[in-house]
């Protein structure tokens, strides 16, 4: 999905998020990375996703005048409370995604979802009692070709299916309701009976699709913070009214390795926006090395994360409201652009890119949303995609520094090198030029060399960037984000980040 999953989408959702528990904490989700797919396949999916992002931004621009962004009110959780979910690389499944462990329903059932900052609909593979048999994508191939089902069989994801009829907290959204017709922009118009479920047909640029009905249910979270840790056992709570898609049919290979998608995009109906509104207005994640083993785990956290931001300070004499959180030790901070033209994606202002300290000559309009450019962070795209003027400048500078290495050909990359020593047969101990992305506010992203000169095959390294169309949006993918802790402060519109090994 991430990478391949971008939506031409037709879907729906809506509802409210609240903590069932009387106290207000924060939470963590564990991030899990899938297995490494062939690079040409990863690149194709990333390009399809980027094409969607650009067309989406243009469509959003034409709708600018129509919307206002009603502000939601939510009770604030205690300042130190949070919740977290385990997060891992999906390399072991052959995908370029990161997976989060998510529990939903009553009683709660565990699912493995793609953590996607480009999605506004959370959905899980689902089977309802009113279906006589599992839909295509559940239990057996829809055709006689079983080759595409190998990865699903290996991961056993097809065995985890949400059964809404067995969840005491599942509530379908009627197709005649205002929620379906007005609040869910991607719901289908068909409504045979007023009490019938609100349906969606969520389509992606690679031809895959997810179809089903939308409702609300409760997610089970594990709280942290003083109130939670004061007790001997970790306290659990329910987030009620989570908008959830019940996908009863899907096509394409995008969803074989996971049970669905966790929406981390900026939207009134996304899980991230609603959970963050309840827990400090922010969420954070740390992406382990994309080739890390299956047991290498980090977390997706909602609420304060002291590793990347310090607690808000009080105003003088104890009066007034607390000031915004400040970056923690070693963390950088830049404005987070929650631009209506880019939603549900998170945009940032890029001032430039440098190689070995030399700022490259890239037209400023490339980074300007007003001029058809801009840049976003996307956990659902693997390889970073730079629009043509930026891509050509960056690869020219990097390849110049690597000119002494023998070139090899490997799709989908333009610049690949034989990194093997002819005398020892081992990797060359050659310095890689330093790449830095300069954000507004003097914040610099200085990724490890392996994030942009990547291991593409044994003894072969490639400049792991892709060229995107101009005009268009540049996408900072999850490989360039790896081994960094990222905090999305939606309340104060700040993005904070710092280097981290991510594993705990």
| SS3 label, residue 276 | helix
The pair of structure tokens assigned to 125 is 């593979």
Question: Strand pairing of 375-377 and 474-476?
Answer: parallel
Cα atoms found within 13 Å of the Cα of residue 386, Cβ hemisphere only? 19
Say if CB 366 and CB 469 are below 8 A apart: no
Residue closest to 372 by CA, chosen among 387, 362, 383: 387
Residue closest to 373 by CA, chosen among 361, 385, 383, 381: 385
Q: Alpha-carbon torsion 86, 88, 90, 96, what sign? A: positive
The pair of structure tokens assigned to 33 is 């990375």
Say if CB 164 and CB 128 are below 8 A apart: yes
Say if CB 430 and CB 405 are below 8 A apart: yes
Question: Strand pairing of 309-310 and 332-337?
Answer: unpaired
Say if CB 77 and CB 224 are below 8 A apart: no
Catalytically annotated residues: 116, 378
Say if CB 380 and CB 97 are below 8 A apart: yes
Say if CB 372 and CB 472 are below 8 A apart: yes
Q: How far is CA 497 from the centre of its chain?
A: 15
Question: Three-state SS across 370-381?
Answer: HHCCCEEECCCC
The pair of structure tokens assigned to 437 is 């992305």
């Amino acid at each position: 999905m991430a990478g391949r999953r971008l939506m031409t989408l037709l879907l729906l959702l809506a509802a409210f998020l609240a903590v069932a528990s009387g106290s207000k904490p924060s939470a963590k989700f564990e991030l899990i990375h899938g297995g490494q797919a062939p690079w040409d396949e990863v690149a194709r999916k990333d390009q399809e996703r980027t094409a969607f992002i650009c067309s989406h931004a243009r469509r959003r621009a034409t709708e600018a005048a129509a919307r206002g962004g009603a502000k939601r009110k939510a009770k604030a959780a205690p300042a130190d409370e949070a919740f977290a979910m385990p997060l891992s690389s999906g390399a072991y499944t052959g995908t370029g995604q990161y997976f989060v462990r998510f529990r939903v329903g009553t009683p709660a059932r565990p699912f493995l979802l793609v953590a996607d900052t480009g999605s506004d609909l959370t959905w899980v593979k689902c089977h309802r009692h009113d279906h006589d048999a599992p839909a295509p994508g559940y239990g057996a191939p829809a055709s006689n070709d079983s080759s595409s089902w190998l990865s699903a069989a290996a991961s056993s994801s097809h065995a985890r299916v949400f059964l809404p009829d067995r969840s005491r907290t599942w509530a379908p959204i009627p197709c005649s309701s205002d929620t379906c017709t007005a609040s869910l922009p991607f719901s289908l118009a068909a409504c045979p009976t007023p009490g019938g479920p609100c349906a969606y047909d969520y389509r992606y640029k690679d031809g895959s699709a997810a179809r089903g009905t939308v409702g609300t249910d409760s997610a089970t979270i594990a709280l942290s913070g003083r109130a939670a840790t004061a007790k001997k056992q970790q306290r659990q709570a329910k987030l009620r009214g989570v908008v959830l898609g019940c996908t009863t049919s899907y096509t394409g290979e995008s969803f074989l390795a996971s049970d669905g998608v966790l929406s981390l995009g900026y939207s009134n109906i996304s899980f991230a926006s609603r959970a963050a509104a309840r827990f400090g207005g922010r969420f954070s994640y740390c992406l382990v090395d994309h080739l890390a083993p299956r047991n290498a785990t980090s977390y997706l956290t909602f609420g304060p994360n002291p590793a990347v931001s310090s607690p808000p300070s009080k105003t003088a004499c104890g009066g007034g409201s607390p000031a915004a959180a400040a970056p923690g030790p070693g963390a950088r901070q830049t404005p987070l652009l929650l631009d209506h033209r880019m939603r549900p994606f998170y945009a940032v202002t890029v001032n430039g890119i440098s190689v070995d300290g030399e700022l490259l000559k890239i037209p400023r309009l490339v980074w300007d949303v007003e001029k058809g450019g801009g840049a976003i962070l996307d956990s659902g795209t693997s390889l970073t995609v730079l629009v043509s003027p930026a891509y050509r400048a960056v690869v020219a500078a990097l390849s110049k520094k690597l000119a002494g290495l023998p070139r090899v050909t490997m799709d989908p990359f333009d610049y690949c090198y034989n990194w093997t020593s002819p005398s020892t047969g081992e990797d060359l101990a050659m310095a890689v030029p330093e790449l830095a992305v300069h954000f507004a506010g003097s914040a610099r992203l200085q990724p490890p060399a392996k994030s942009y000169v990547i291991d593409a095959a044994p003894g072969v390294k490639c400049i792991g960037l892709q060229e995107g169309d101009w005009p268009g949006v540049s996408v900072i993918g999850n490989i360039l984000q790896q081994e960094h802790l990222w905090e999305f402060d939606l309340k104060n519109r700040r993005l904070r980040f710092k280097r981290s090994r991510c594993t705990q």
